Chain A
């Protein structure tokens, strides 16, 4: 589920950073305004979800699946605090374990802490009135499957990844649709247990005034995000650093004949080229040498 760097185009990564930033920023504000939810509560529940993710559920055939918990976090804490809790887990996985990339972190936050949590919460609230167990099961199942489908869409729409969106979505969606049944079952079990033993805990997910309009806006953003990603890709795939090199006239000679042929820069005045080539060489080697020289003794 975690997308590493290199799979997504820069335009799509940037778009998902912006979308995630907007939703998570608003969620942080809602959490700060809340009387029930506080920082330690979200932190500890995030740690609990993180620990629960390490449970390996044996499934027939000798293999195992692990729990993700996005929908559960949404049901227990509400969509805003739930998304912050999942964002905390995803951030630790990226910065501590390198699980998922840095440029792709926006996409991972979008999939696991926005799509999974909000989709799971919407579904739970929709079905809850009819059957609580079915609501929690569907929420866990559809939440994780929706997140996987979004991963497929984002990767499939990126031109860096040569498979089409249909192939990527099918591969991610079908597999997670099956594994999601376990997620749904566990979510339903946990929600049912908490409901029968400590129903007062449910106040965290319910007592907050969530507001219909912001929730509707987040829902629309989630639904439209693949369209935005498609449009970002349609604007034209280009590599900004390559463009800079072209603008500076540094790529006129495509045939490689050494980094600085005759200590000059192809396409540049010889004297300036020699100066630049000398400076680059000195920069690299001097900085390397000084790093050793000034490294702390301990």
Chain B
């Protein structure tokens, strides 16, 4: 059981760091742009990335994303670090088929497309708090009930994880001998069952608390229309089409 807890804690620590990283401390121009505009802009950049296998065009989008990040004061290293893992994985995936077909341009273009798309998405994540993302989605007419559920999920994830860990640690403290894999699975499943039962009870309490407060969830804020951002993307788009 201790292996289960140790491995979980290690990966969860890395995961939860993102909760804080995404709320990037420094305020930049991009932070002030309306989140719905940034969402549409991000989709546009991803479409430019995946809309071609032409290396020049892909490089143009990557440069456009990184120049935008640099110009608004974001750490390029952070952006690259958060975007690089899957492109490396993509190289490994397409390596056999590219070597077999002697298609070396594909070997470069495919991972670069992925890198460009992920960088565009990460730029959005690094400059948009989660409540702002939901505000942007609300403006884009995503049903509010769905957004409320997502917001509650976001708010309770860390709290629920703490509860889960408490259940696991309590079980670990009662353990007297080293357990086999099968035993860990069985014990872990029971702990998970207990945790889910507690989650249902928590949900009942949350519902009552929300009812007492009037069930109002607000994600709003004041933002600029992002005309400079739109102009920049339009310029990049025209350049892309001309290449």
Contacts and interface: CB of A to CB of B under 8 A. Distances in A.
Interface in B119-173: 121-122, 125, 130, 133, 143, 145-146, 148-157, 159-161, 163-164
A51 interface: yes
A51 B238 contact: no
Interface in B16-34: 18-19, 22, 27-32
A58 B101 contact: no
A233 to B, nearest CB: 15
Given A102-B46, A295-B32, A44 B152 contact: yes
B202 interface: yes
Most buried by B among A59, A280, A281: A280
Which of A31, A160, A162, A292 counts the most chain B CB atoms within 10 A? Answer: A162
A54 B82 CA distance: 19
Given A47-B152, A56-B4, A189-B189, A32 B145 contact: yes
A265 B243 CA distance: 10
Contacts of A265: 242
A66 B7 CA distance: 10
Contacts of A182: 185
A288 B160 contact: no
B118 A98 contact: yes
Given A98-B121, A265-B242, A197 B193 contact: yes
Interface in B186-236: 186, 188-190, 192-197, 199-200, 202-204, 206-207, 210, 224, 228-229, 231-232, 234-236
Among A57, A94, A244, which residue has the most Cβ atoms of chain B within 10 A?
A: A57
B199 A241 contact: no
A241 B189 contact: no
B243 A256 contact: yes
Given A47-B159, A190-B192, A265-B242, A52 B164 contact: yes
B229 A291 contact: yes
B65 interface: no
Nearest to B136: A95
B123 to A, nearest CB: 10
A160 B114 CA distance: 11
A193 interface: yes
Interface string A229-243: 000000000011110
A28 B145 contact: yes
Contact of A55 (B4, B30, B229): B4
A162 B97 contact: yes
Q: Which among A10, A286, A291, A294 has the greatest number of chain B C-beta atoms within 10 A?
A: A291
Interface residues of A, number: 96
Nearest to B113: A6
A221 B181 CA distance: 39
A87 B146 contact: yes
A41 B201 CA distance: 9
A186 interface: yes
Contacts of B82: 98
A250 B43 CA distance: 23
Contacts of A287: 228-229, 231-232, 235
B149 A189 contact: no
Interface string A47-71: 1101110111111100010110000
Nearest to B94: A162
A15 interface: no
A296 B27 contact: yes
B197 to A, nearest CB: 5
A213 interface: no
A50 B192 contact: no
Contact of A160 (B4, B50, B188, B193): B50
Contact of A92 (B27, B153, B199): B153
Contacts of B19: 96
Given A50-B160, A89-B153, A295-B72, A64 B241 contact: no
A280 B235 contact: yes
B125 A96 contact: yes
Tell me which of A4, A67, A298 has the highest count of chain B C-beta atoms within 10 A of its own C-beta.
A4
Contact of B73 (A239, A294, A295): A295
Contacts of A44: 152-153, 156, 160, 199-200, 202-203, 206
A4 B149 contact: no
B48 interface: yes
Given A186-B188, A190-B189, A103 B101 contact: no
Contacts of A163: 97
Counting from the closest, the 10 A-B pairs by CB-CB distance are: A189-B189, A43-B152, A193-B193, A5-B117, A47-B156, A56-B7, A44-B203, A48-B199, A283-B235, A245-B241
12 contacts: A5-B46, A10-B51, A28-B145, A44-B153, A50-B160, A56-B10, A95-B130, A189-B192, A193-B190, A248-B241, A290-B228, A295-B73
Given A56-B7, A256-B56, A259-B239, 17 more contacts: A5-B117, A6-B110, A40-B152, A44-B200, A47-B154, A60-B181, A88-B153, A98-B122, A102-B46, A103-B50, A162-B103, A162-B106, A189-B185, A193-B190, A197-B197, A201-B197, A280-B239
